[in-house]
Structure 1
Amino acid sequence: MEHLVEKTVAKKQIFAGKVIDLYVEEVQLPNGKTSKREIVKHPGAVAIIPVTNEGKIVLVRQYRKAMERVLVEIPAGKLEKGEAPIATARRELEEETGYKCETLRHLTSFYTSPGFADEIVHLYIAENLSKLENAASLDEDEFVDVLEVTLEEALQLVKEHQIYDAKTAYAIQYLQLQQMLGEKYE
């Protein structure tokens, strides 16, 4: 696979933000020529599939400025520096939904857009949920509605393009596959 590797020749940071940093890298291609790559550096994130004891999926509805629209998504959030993904998952579940869980299990991790970004999302399933008496607060610039839906209702939200992001579509398809296989969410 070494014949596919691009070697970085030069690297320049052109933006440092609260969520992302942007670099332009000059790379030497496998054929010896050079090219430029614009790379988004991201600290990583978690996403959680919360399933109630009644088998409902807890989702959040929020406005996404980049899309200029409201989307329905599974709870998710950015890793804080030095924070373990499982701790981030617990925190985000509580902040965004007002639920805590007894069982939190890592399912998989995946890159969101490896063509230009290094963001990795760690996907968890949260079960044995209970409502918090004193729910943690959302970030000051975050506003969400919490929904509890059946798998069938979630699939309808996908058809209606209310669920329109990859992590949530992946989560819904995961649950659908588990149901088709007659398995508990393993």
Structure 2
Amino acid sequence: MDNHLKEIRIDSTLAYDGSFLKVQRDTVRLPNGQPTTREYIKHPGAVVIIPLLDDGSVLMERQFRYPINRVFIEFPAGKIDPGEAPLACAKRELLEETGYTATDWQFVCTIHNAIAYADEHLDLYLARGLVEGERQLDDEEFLDTFKATPDDLMMWIREGKITDVKTVIGAFWLEKILNETWKL
């Protein structure tokens, strides 16, 4: 159906092999038959957790993000380890970053956040039945957690205080779920 839009890989090389990211450089044939180059980041995928507390608030994080050189307000999230199931990753990341566990997990959606230059995907999960515990941050991980209302999130998105795409999308999903406009 969309074959007239498809690009066909002719050749592929690894342009950069880092400890976390890899950059691929492919030669492709365009739909008009002409060759061109595509460079993109290979990413193992990640999860995003929307932790909804019993009182209706959500558990959020404040974390410095080096590429943008500022602190961001975000939902808890993390990279999927090799061979790890996305839900297992979500449970691990929630505990590590916040100290919380959850008794009820629901898959929300998958998003592709940078389709022009990366193959990264993020699986979003709604976590309920939260139980507080001791967080287990990685040695190189520094973040603060706090509670906010869903209305706060929407206001901060509108004001530009939340610009992280995974958090914006998660907040819009949360609004639809809480209003019972969308069912999981």
Smaller-chain TM-score range? over 0.9
- What do residues 30-68 of structure 1 show as CA deviations (whole Å, max 9, x unaligned)? 111011101110000000000001111111000000111
- Separation of aligned partners in 2, 1:155 and 1:9: 45
* Counterpart residue number, 2:172: 173
Q: Structure 2 regions of 5+ residues with no counterpart?
A: none
Deviates more, 1:138-147 or 1:170-179: 170-179
- Separation of aligned partners in 1, 2:139 and 2:106: 28
1:107-186 matched pairs, under 5 angstroms: 107-132=108-133, 135-181=134-180, 186=184
1:173 partner SS:
helix
- What do residues 66-100 of structure 1 show as CA deviations (whole Å, max 9, x unaligned)? 11100000000000000000000000001111100
CA offset at residue 5 of structure 1?
1.3
- Separation of aligned partners in 2, 1:127 and 1:181: 16
CA offset at residue 182 of structure 1?
6.4
1:164 partner SS:
coil
CA offset at residue 181 of structure 1?
4.0
* Counterpart residue number, 1:104: 105
- Separation of aligned partners in 2, 1:39 and 1:174: 28
CA offset at residue 157 of structure 1?
2.1
- Separation of aligned partners in 2, 1:170 and 1:18: 28
% identical equivalent positions: 35
Matched, 1:15 2:8: no
Deviates more, 1:161-170 or 1:173-182: 173-182
> Measured at CA, do residues 149 and 27 of structure 1 come closer, stay the same or move farther in structure 2, by a change above 3 Å?
same
Name the amino acid aligned to 2:139. E
* Counterpart residue number, 2:79: 78
CA offset at residue 11 of structure 1?
1.0
TM-score (norm. length: structure 1): 0.93
* Counterpart residue number, 1:68: 69
- What do residues 84-140 of structure 1 show as CA deviations (whole Å, max 9, x unaligned)? 0000000000111110000111111111111111001000000000101xx242111
Q: Structure 1 regions of 5+ residues with no counterpart?
A: none
- Separation of aligned partners in 1, 2:50 and 2:69: 24
Divergent runs of 4+, >6 A: none
- Separation of aligned partners in 1, 2:73 and 2:104: 23
Preserved CA contact (<8 Å) 1:70 1:162? no
Deviates more, 1:160-169 or 1:101-110: 160-169
CA RMSD of aligned residues (A): 1.4
Deviates more, 1:74-83 or 1:9-18: 9-18
Name the amino acid aligned to 2:80. L
TM-score (norm. length: structure 2): 0.94
Preserved CA contact (<8 Å) 2:100 2:135? no
Preserved CA contact (<8 Å) 1:51 1:125? yes
